[in-house]
Amino acid sequence: MKRTNTILLCLCTFLLLQTATAQDAKMKAHIDGLLKKMTVDEKIGQLNLVVTGYVPTGTTVSADTEKKIIAGQVGGMFGSHDPVRMKAIQKIAMEKSRLKIPLFFGLDVIHGHRTIFPIPLGLAATWDMGLVEKSARIAAQEATAEGLNWTFSPMVDIARDPRWGRISEGNGEDPYLGSQIAKAMVRGYQGDDLSKNNSLMACVKHYALYGAAEAGRDYNTVDMSRSAMYNYYLPPYKAAVEAGAGSIMTSFNVVDEVPATANRWLMTDVLRNQWGFKGFVVTDYTAINEMSAHGLGDLQTVSALALKAGVDMDMVGEGFLTTLKKSLDEGKVKMADIDLACRRILEAKWKMGLFKDAYGRLDESRPAKEIMTPENRKAAREVASHSFVLLKNDKQILPLAKTGKTVAFVGPLADNHRDMLGTWVIGGEWEKSVSVMEGVKNVAPKLATFYAKGSNITDDTSFIHRLNFFNQPRVTLDPISPETLLRNALETSAKADIIVAVLGESESMSGESSSRTDIGIPESQRKLLEELVKTGKPVVLVLFTGRPLTLEWEDAHCAAILNVWAPGTEAGNAIADVLFGDVNPSGKLTATFPRSIGQIPLYYNHKPTGRPYNGSYQTKFQSNYLDSSNDPLFPFGYGIGYSPFVYEEMMLNIPQFWEEVHLI
């Protein structure tokens, strides 16, 4: 029996390999034929990625897109999720351009498309690959229903610095967990067959080391040993490649002194030769142009450097489009370099099924049936409730009873929709999110509740100005004065037995270009919390955040702290599920919470020192601080639940362990 099974397995594998080889041969023949017909300009055109739709104020945008598509000067575009518009654009490529090569349609679908899931740092806290994959699958279903075929996700940059706003977009500090999540996300997006109409090509980013920006300041320089790269920072990108990610995005920073976007060691030696990557490389937004500011030369020079290093597609900057032909004529790049990049783009289009059916994902009837369905919202609620991390629960104050005691919900995030979704949400509509107050009413309709805003998210007008980028009023000052807001909150709280303070970061306080040097709860809210604590009533803190925060005071004074990150569309329902005990909190931190910013970088897998702290400040000349403990406030992996439990008699399967961590 066993033998028959083995023979059958071998036969199936053989047949699969045969089919794959036949498919590859078909693809090669098609692309060989196409390349023969293409002019140099048309080949370079395939390497050009243009932006449309949403674009940050002050950044470079693409012009004359339609004209360029007709002239065969565009390989793909991103920024829109309107299937009607995208179908019309695909029609231009398919009917008016000479060779009728279909376009990619990309978007930053980061943690859900229309139904929004928790921010990636929250999703990672579930430690549940099934849920991670499910969230990516639903995102792919919704995104392809709106005409998209490519997402700029997953972001798998390891980060050890909570000042960096984009720590919210990644999976934390652990390379192994980060690798498992990278794989699950790729599987979820791409499904079992990239050519299906509900498969979305993944783009793993930002290759490489973007999460190690010095001082946590976005776009800052990076300096790292090869050993740290291979052991800690590179594994998640490699895992995504192994899972078959169709594309990879370069990062803005330098790697070993050379900008990643011109780094041949990174993009050819490691990515292709060591890891066997078969997809294509796209730059980050205008990353080629920015290499001039790195000091590498004018646009022609940096574009040639990028191509020769292994970049295939230029995002928005049009350095390839405007200079590669000249570089070819001057012998600065070879025809073979352009051909190779063009081939990789065409191969991706083939694998995505675009040559078979350019309109496969452009079906206007899908959105009404597939977007924000009750099942999708149910999944978002389930995933969110599993991402929350209970950091403290004195005297089992949580879960709250659904009747009996009276509860005051206080804080600028308690009756708020705007900040429920978190950073990087293009398709999601915050107006459709569930606020905490709404969730409480849904889950505990009989509970006697009170509500007061209590404070602004911040009173600092210059901070507000920076938070309201794209000219959108994301954070506003209440017309009621801070003093009156506070007074009302104290009057409201006086009527209740328990206070639930719903505080923390607004959506725009983390994410891209949102680094902070003070990672505490904003002062206005902290002041409110102090006054609430002074009432002597138990205060439960429901904390919204896109990063680890410094919470020593809060930990010392609040009865309970439930960290909910930015939970997504179903925020309020999921929070109420956990607050009232329908779901036992099970999230565990994947990034260390320091006591103070002075301790950063602080992470669990650091190397030993020759002078470790021995637990006593009596001994001098040890690795410790004069004014702080070395320990984090909440370590990596931390998170409690409502029921006590113990792990015991744990066993390590050594051979499998070593295999999994790639050491043998």
- Residues binding ligand BGC (CB under 6 A): 108, 152, 205, 284-285, 512
Complex with ligand BGC: residue 207 or 285, whichever CB lies closer: 285
Least Å distance, CB 110 to ligand BGC, is: 8
Q: Do 502 and 542 touch, CB atoms closer than 8 A?
A: yes
Q: For residues 507 and 411, what is the distance between their CA atoms, to the nearest angstrom?
A: 15
| Token pair in block for residue 591 | 């990034």
Complex with ligand BGC: residue 284 or 318, whichever CB lies closer: 284
Looking at the DSSP bridge assignments, the partners of residue 49 are 76, 315
314: which DSSP letter?
E
Tally the C-alpha atoms within 13 A of residue 537's C-alpha that lie toward its C-beta: 24
| Token pair in block for residue 550 | 């410094």
Complex with ligand BGC: residue 284 or 507, whichever CB lies closer: 284
Least Å distance, CB 346 to ligand BGC, is: 22
Q: Do 421 and 434 touch, CB atoms closer than 8 A?
A: no
Q: Strand, coil or helix: what is 112?
A: coil
Distance of CA 191 to the CA centre of its chain: 19
Q: Strand, coil or helix: what is 174?
A: coil
| Token pair in block for residue 429 | 């509509």
Least Å distance, CB 284 to ligand BGC, is: 5
Least Å distance, CB 363 to ligand BGC, is: 25
* Angle at which helices 374-387 and 571-579 cross, to 10°: 50
Complex with ligand BGC: residue 285 or 388, whichever CB lies closer: 285
The angle subtended at Cα 188 by Cα 381 and Cα 664, nearest 5°, is 120
User: Token pair 């205060």 is at which residue?
Assistant: 539
Q: How far is CA 484 from CA 70, 208, 528, 568, in A?
A: 60, 49, 12, 31
Least Å distance, CB 117 to ligand BGC, is: 18
Complex with ligand BGC: residue 150 or 388, whichever CB lies closer: 150
Distance of CA 435 to the CA centre of its chain: 22
Distance of CA 492 to the CA centre of its chain: 38
Least Å distance, CB 162 to ligand BGC, is: 19
User: Token pair 């940059």 is at which residue?
Assistant: 157
Least Å distance, CB 285 to ligand BGC, is: 4
Complex with ligand BGC: residue 108 or 146, whichever CB lies closer: 108
| Token pair in block for residue 257 | 């002194």
Q: How far is CA 643 from CA 119, 128, 142, 392, in A?
A: 26, 19, 37, 13
User: Helices in 287-334 by DSSP H: which ranges?
Assistant: 287-290, 299-309, 319-329
Least Å distance, CB 218 to ligand BGC, is: 9
Complex with ligand BGC: residue 101 or 248, whichever CB lies closer: 248
Complex with ligand BGC: residue 284 or 382, whichever CB lies closer: 284
532: which DSSP letter?
H
Q: Do 203 and 213 touch, CB atoms closer than 8 A?
A: no
Give which of 86, 190, 180, 100 is closest to 136, Cα–Cα.
Answer: 190
Complex with ligand BGC: residue 117 or 285, whichever CB lies closer: 285
User: Helices in 38-82 by DSSP H: which ranges?
Assistant: 40-46, 65-70
- Chain residue whose CB lies nearest ligand BGC: 152
Which distant-in-sequence residues (6+ apart) come within 8 Å of 547 by Cβ?
Answer: 121, 162, 163, 164, 165, 167, 168, 505, 510, 516, 519, 591
Least Å distance, CB 205 to ligand BGC, is: 6
Amino acid letter for position 277: F
Task: Point out the residues that are catalytic.
Answer: 284
Least Å distance, CB 290 to ligand BGC, is: 11
Complex with ligand BGC: residue 248 or 539, whichever CB lies closer: 248
- Name the maximum alpha-carbon separation found in the chain: 81
